[in-house]
Structure 1
Amino acid sequence: MKGMDTIYQTKLYQKYRNAIIMLLDLVIVFSSYVFTFFMDNNFFLDGRLLHITHLIIYGMIFVLVLHLGVGMLFSTPKTLWTYTGPQDVIRIGLSSLVCMVIMLIFTQTMHLFHPSLIIISEILAYIIQLAIRLLYREFHQYMMNVDRSEKALVIGAGNGGYMMVNEIYRGTQYPYNVVGYLDDYKPKGTLVGGKKVLGTIDEVDRIAKENGVTRLFIAISRIDEQNKQRIIELCANTSCITKIMRFSLENEHEGIHVDEIQIEDLLNRHTVDLKTEEIGAYLNDQVVCVTGAGGSIGSELCRQIIRFAPKRLIMIDINENTLYMLKQEFMRKARAGEISQNVELVSLIISIREREEMFKFMRDYKPDVVYHAAAHKHVPLMEDRPMEAIRNNVFGTKNVIDACIAYDVKRFIMISTDKAVNPTNVMGATKRMTELVMQSRNVKDSPIKMAAVRFGNVLGSSGSVIPIFKEQIRQGGPVTVTDYNIQRYFMTIPEAAQLVLQAGYYANQSEIFVLDMGKPVKILELAEKMIHLAGYKPYEEIEIKEVGLRPGEKMFEELALEIEKCHRTDNRLIFVHEPIQITQEEMDRKLDELYETISKTDDTALIKAKLLTLIKDDPQTMSKRGQ
């Protein structure tokens, strides 16, 4: 098989393939006519001599030229023999039929061949051409299947399952031998594309073990979320590596691709009901700025924003590599026509900690909308260096807010976190402090509308638990969890970004919006499911090890308690806190105290204690601490 692949990859074959196929077809046609002519003359066994006249030569030339022209008309040389199917049978049949009709007209005019000779020759040529293609397809299939030692099951025996089986056997990308299907609605023993339905999906574990299956392919084109969740859970609880077939629409042609089961599939996140007309109302043809644009949330915000055709998208970050790569991504998409080329893209290396630079930026670029996603976010690192968290998260954010107010930005939306609720760590406390800064600003004479948006962990963000677990599983374990009972809220990055955009529309008087994160997830169960999905047995093949809570880490985040104190917006997934009453003078006094503390000491315990003390007087925090 490797030798054949080598031939296919040669420039000679790639350049002259169609000509070679056409030449072979002409040889078949010529041989068919010669054979029929000899058969009609009893192969000259009766002693007669073969006389080749000029008329016969001209007739054969006409036959070959005719087949060449009709073959090119029906594109028979361009079809790939590996995938010979019903359409090719029809195409070759029509080509032969056209040639037959023309030849019958020709022979009646020239009185050259008997009509029966024409009909037999064309039928014979058609059969041989088709037989060679089908034999090649079977030989190619056999050669590919020689090395298919791993066995697979396809979940779903409908159109999706049939397409999946064809995809598996059409090449070497999926070198598996499909033993059959599992389907809840087709009787056991039903044949689909030559493969049997072996049972229902609930029997996946038993049937996989009985047949030595190591791979599962979920291939159901239409399914509701509840059933999808059930099937994924059943597959995840086997010892098989599970993949899922997804449908995509690329270059205006529907196609399929096969992915690993993502943890997002298991968590069954909400579908975001975006009110695009509301978002477009404040983004379309506006100058939009995103700080922290190179980060997980910031970059996804940019991807979502650009769909609403702003006049200019300004991406700010201190990390030049991520910022450069994001702009390159947008430039590629613009060239491919995936996004509008009319959006002006601006990338700027600016630190939000540089107050003068932030004011210069606002003065020179005059953004209409600012999304503030720049922040230090890793809890353990911020525990070690609380002064850095304060300088960046608190005073950096204050710089951005003050600059927005000074230069009449219309809308400011800040990314916050569930860790700002009753914070016990530095990162959460700095985020709560920034919420207070935002709510304390005197904006009565300013057109600005401000808001903060709180949500929990996002799946797949840099440094989050999902990529860490994946890398630990790849290395053979152990997978480490801080505590076997710890729980966290999760949301996908696109979902979080979309809800931030939606919440931005509701921004008015420095509200705090809280996103509905669904049900909290036990990190231990998350680790177990990820190990199952990778094809291993937790605790047997991959160890799960408890390492203890990190400094400042909570067992449970309190986002659900916050939602109880909120009221729902028009979007079922977005809740809102009423603004608290805190004066700008009072808040500035707190900030002065905090700045004085980090200026005089590097004592991390003292700095953290001061930070937590300063937010203790916050009415929301006080009410929780009193419970």
Structure 2
Amino acid sequence: MSAYDFALPLLQLPRNAKRAIVLSLDALICIFSVWFALYLRLGELVTLSGPYLIPVFASLVIAIPIFVRMGLYRAIYRYSGINSILIIVMATALYGVLFATIFTVISVTGVPRTIGIIQPILVMILVVGSRTLARLLLNSYANAEASKGVRVRILIYGAGQTGRQLSAALAMGGDVKVVGFVDDDPRLTGSTIDRRPIYSAEDLPDLVKSLDIAHVVLALPDATRAQMRAVVDRLRDAQVSVQTLPDMAAMASGKVTLSDVRPLSIDDLLGRDPVAPDVSLMQQTIKGKSVAITGAGGSIGAELCRQICTLEPAQLILIEQSEYSLYAIHQELEAHATRTGISLIPLLGSVTDGQFLSQVFAQRSVDTVFHAAAYKHVPLVEQNVAAGIRNNVWGTCVAAEAAAAANVSQFVLVSTDKAVRPTNFMGASKRLAELVLQAFETRFENTRFSMVRFGNVLGSSGSVVPRFRKQIEEGGPVTLTHPEITRFFMSIPEAAQLVVQSSAMARGGDVFVLDMGEAVKILDLAERMIELSGLTIRSDEFPEGDIEIQVTGLRPGEKLYEELLLGDDPQPTRHERIMRAQDACLSWDELEPKLNELDQALAANDIETVRRLFVSLPLKYGPNDPIADLLSADPKP
């Protein structure tokens, strides 16, 4: 009878039946170990009768409850490892102390004292051995089952401790075959781990083809983004799917499992490695204070809510005009707020409603406002100019005036790199919102106004990354507007942390600019995402490729590249990733008449006049395209 034939009926038994079998086996081990201990002590075979029944009874009464209490019958023996063995050793050691106390320290008439030492040692050996044998038998069945189908062949990049743990976890899964390891350390080349060879990283592209590799799994928990990009660049022509592990610091158990492996995301490669936040800056405008966030359900607003929730505010006020978005972020934060005693206030309303905001800020004694509410999709604002400007400019103006009236200490505007030399109404409206706050700094004495300007955030509702990902999943084509277009990228959590830290350094009227790292060419981004999926790019040179990249042309108001600074002399701050820009501004007396003219033009939906006013203001607005507003244009047949 093969191990496979023996294991199959055991695996098919109900869970309780399996536990009963294991418990019965442990009971037999207890009885047998008493008999065998007597044989080793006396040198002859004895019958378990008379006084010899006392250690049998004591062994069962002591061992079984301890084993049950310490969870020996909850383990899945196919997957048991060193942790399970340690628990068994602890359980049998505790049993041994109690058993030896009775039969060696106290002693029982007719039973040799040495039985109290020999028998627990035998129990430990037999229980550990039974579990090891069960694992071998049951894994033989799993491996036999896996061999019936096609097993995915993988290479693990990284021959360190993480790579070894991953190899062991993947081997238990049965549906993949770890062919070997790859490592940058030339001293490891030619060595083996668990009989699997370690190859040179320089040979990786050739190995993928010669060994028929489907996936390369990166076991590099401490790798920087630059190091990850170097590995991926080496694999660009290999036509292989790249997968990775999460941050090992978050895996408190230190145990890698099969479920931890995930496809390598473009988010792992873009931007720079984040800098740990300055806790004192993070808490300065938050801890113990009443904080309000407008646009709380948006990408940045929601992340601000998450970050601020961990900084111990007295109350957090969520202001959002979308019912669903407000519901979603409130549900997400509610449990944490209840546990930590934070008062969480979800409020439906628009930032253009001054009476609503005045009531909120005054009634809730708000100390700090983060103004993240905005329309930020460039083509949509080009087609809905009045709505975009009303929300972005008047929303900021109304919210700031309400904050000043309620003596809010700090008002922070979340701005955008599209406000720098804008070519579209969205960017121009955000730059005008910055001018409003700069003018308010001299108009109102009790409130400090500042703004934080940064580029695209990964995974936001308007980001190109989720659109590319969806197009790749659908088989293409992947569409971009121009082959030379570039953008800055930053993770949402880092952006939110830097916004909060900026607020602590505000002196009034500040325009803070976040260091976004290197600009990314969107064509390169699309190519990397296709290649990370294990697919090839279809082109004239390679017509058999999987995914085509199509260039659709720039959309109305779209720029080839974005900038973060209007001037050339940014000032450093105490944070290495935050700069203070030196931008031109207007007084309120100069700006107010222009806003009144703009208000009248918007009321008439006179977009030509709106554009002329924007050009006349110090926005450095330079439109390149005809007006695309859908309400001011002549209706098309």
Whole-angstrom CA distance in 1 between matches of 2:136 and 2:171: 11
- Aligned 1:452-467 pairs, distance under 5 A: 452-467=451-466
State the AA in 1 paired with 2:352. R
Partner of 2:300: 297
Higher mean C-alpha deviation, range 196-205 or range 369-378:
196-205
Deviations 1:216-266 (A, max 9, x none): 221134445543432243345532222222345669755553333222321
Q: Alignment partner of 1:564: what SS?
A: coil
| Deviation (angstroms), 1:549 | 1.1
Whole-angstrom CA distance in 1 between matches of 2:27 and 2:111: 20
| Deviation (angstroms), 1:395 | 1.6
Whole-angstrom CA distance in 2 between matches of 1:223 and 1:572: 22
Partner of 1:562: 566
Answer yes or no: is 1:155 the counterpart of 2:151. no
Whole-angstrom CA distance in 1 between matches of 2:622 and 2:481: 29
Partner of 1:526: 525
Q: Alignment partner of 2:537: what SS?
A: coil
Whole-angstrom CA distance in 2 between matches of 1:291 and 1:389: 16
- Aligned 1:442-461 pairs, distance under 5 A: 443-461=442-460
- Aligned 1:314-333 pairs, distance under 5 A: 314-333=317-336
Partner of 1:137: 135
State the AA in 2 paired with 1:566. P
Whole-angstrom CA distance in 1 between matches of 2:47 and 2:282: 86
Whole-angstrom CA distance in 2 between matches of 1:310 and 1:42: 75
Whole-angstrom CA distance in 1 between matches of 2:334 and 2:33: 58
Answer yes or no: is 1:550 the counterpart of 2:555. yes
Change over 3 Å in CA distance of 1:395–1:241 after alignment to 2:
same
Deviations 1:332-355 (A, max 9, x none): 2245x5xx32x2111100111223
Partner of 1:425: 424
Higher mean C-alpha deviation, range 34-43 or range 71-80:
34-43
| Deviation (angstroms), 1:108 | 8.6
Partner of 1:407: 406
Aligned partner (choices 255, 261, 264) of residue 261 of structure 1: 264
Whole-angstrom CA distance in 2 between matches of 1:5 and 1:296: 48
Whole-angstrom CA distance in 2 between matches of 1:41 and 1:284: 74
Change over 3 Å in CA distance of 1:222–1:596 after alignment to 2:
closer
State the AA in 2 paired with 1:414. L
Partner of 1:491: 490
Deviations 1:263-315 (A, max 9, x none): 23212414235332133222222111110000000111111222222221111
> Could you say what the CA RMSD is over the residues aligned between the two structures, in angstroms?
3.7
State the AA in 1 paired with 2:272. R
> Is this contact kept in 1: 2:184–2:201, CA < 8 A?
yes
> Is this contact kept in 1: 2:103–2:115, CA < 8 A?
no
| Deviation (angstroms), 1:187 | 2.3
Higher mean C-alpha deviation, range 344-353 or range 54-63:
54-63
Q: Unmatched 5+ residue regions in structure 1? A: 45-49
Whole-angstrom CA distance in 2 between matches of 1:98 and 1:327: 54
Whole-angstrom CA distance in 2 between matches of 1:122 and 1:411: 69
> Is this contact kept in 1: 2:537–2:549, CA < 8 A?
yes
Q: Alignment partner of 1:289: what SS?
A: strand
Partner of 1:307: 310
Deviations 1:377-413 (A, max 9, x none): 1111111111111221122221112212222221111
Partner of 2:628: none
Higher mean C-alpha deviation, range 565-574 or range 387-396:
565-574
Whole-angstrom CA distance in 2 between matches of 1:72 and 1:442: 70
Partner of 2:4: none
> Is this contact kept in 1: 2:478–2:549, CA < 8 A?
yes
State the AA in 2 paired with 1:460. G
Whole-angstrom CA distance in 2 between matches of 1:196 and 1:72: 38
Q: Alignment partner of 2:261: what SS?
A: strand
Partner of 1:346: 345
Higher mean C-alpha deviation, range 52-61 or range 549-558:
52-61
Q: Alignment partner of 2:426: what SS?
A: helix
Deviations 1:544-602 (A, max 9, x none): 1111111111111133x53634322232322223353423233222222222122223x
> Is this contact kept in 2: 1:394–1:430, CA < 8 A?
yes
Answer yes or no: is 1:590 the counterpart of 2:594. yes
Change over 3 Å in CA distance of 1:393–1:176 after alignment to 2:
same
Partner of 2:77: 81
Whole-angstrom CA distance in 1 between matches of 2:499 and 2:161: 38
Change over 3 Å in CA distance of 1:624–1:274 after alignment to 2:
farther
Partner of 2:28: 27
Change over 3 Å in CA distance of 1:5–1:284 after alignment to 2:
farther
| Deviation (angstroms), 1:624 | 12
Whole-angstrom CA distance in 2 between matches of 1:202 and 1:388: 56
Partner of 1:47: none
Partner of 2:191: 190
> Is this contact kept in 1: 2:104–2:117, CA < 8 A?
no
| Deviation (angstroms), 1:164 | 1.3
Q: Alignment partner of 1:621: what SS?
A: coil
Higher mean C-alpha deviation, range 129-138 or range 463-472:
129-138
Normalised by the length of structure 2, the TM-score is 0.84
Normalised by the length of structure 1, the TM-score is 0.85
State the AA in 2 paired with 1:142. S
Change over 3 Å in CA distance of 1:99–1:370 after alignment to 2:
closer
Higher mean C-alpha deviation, range 109-118 or range 280-289:
109-118
| Deviation (angstroms), 1:6 | 6.3
Partner of 1:397: 396
Partner of 2:217: 217
Count of aligned pairs: 601
> Is this contact kept in 2: 1:405–1:443, CA < 8 A?
no
State the AA in 2 paired with 1:549. L
Whole-angstrom CA distance in 2 between matches of 1:58 and 1:279: 67
Answer yes or no: is 1:238 the counterpart of 2:238. yes
Higher mean C-alpha deviation, range 449-458 or range 613-622:
613-622
| Deviation (angstroms), 1:538 | 2.2
Whole-angstrom CA distance in 1 between matches of 2:69 and 2:381: 71
Partner of 1:511: 510
Deviations 1:429-455 (A, max 9, x none): 211221222222363552111112211
Whole-angstrom CA distance in 1 between matches of 2:88 and 2:334: 45
Percent of aligned pairs sharing the same letter: 31
Q: Alignment partner of 1:412: what SS?
A: strand
Deviations 1:442-473 (A, max 9, x none): 63552111112211111100131011111111
| Deviation (angstroms), 1:88 | 6.3
> Is this contact kept in 2: 1:481–1:546, CA < 8 A?
yes
Whole-angstrom CA distance in 1 between matches of 2:231 and 2:273: 18
Whole-angstrom CA distance in 2 between matches of 1:441 and 1:117: 85
Whole-angstrom CA distance in 1 between matches of 2:183 and 2:166: 14
Whole-angstrom CA distance in 2 between matches of 1:88 and 1:325: 42
State the AA in 2 paired with 1:282. T
Answer yes or no: is 1:201 the counterpart of 2:206. no
> Is this contact kept in 2: 1:408–1:446, CA < 8 A?
no
Higher mean C-alpha deviation, range 55-64 or range 542-551:
55-64
> Is this contact kept in 1: 2:415–2:453, CA < 8 A?
yes
Partner of 1:178: 178
Aligned partner (choices 140, 163, 166) of residue 164 of structure 1: 166
Whole-angstrom CA distance in 1 between matches of 2:64 and 2:499: 63
State the AA in 2 paired with 1:290. I
State the AA in 2 paired with 1:318. Q
Change over 3 Å in CA distance of 1:478–1:226 after alignment to 2:
closer
Q: Alignment partner of 1:390: what SS?
A: helix
Change over 3 Å in CA distance of 1:117–1:551 after alignment to 2:
closer
Q: Unmatched 5+ residue regions in structure 2? A: 1-6, 539-544, 625-637
Partner of 1:578: 582
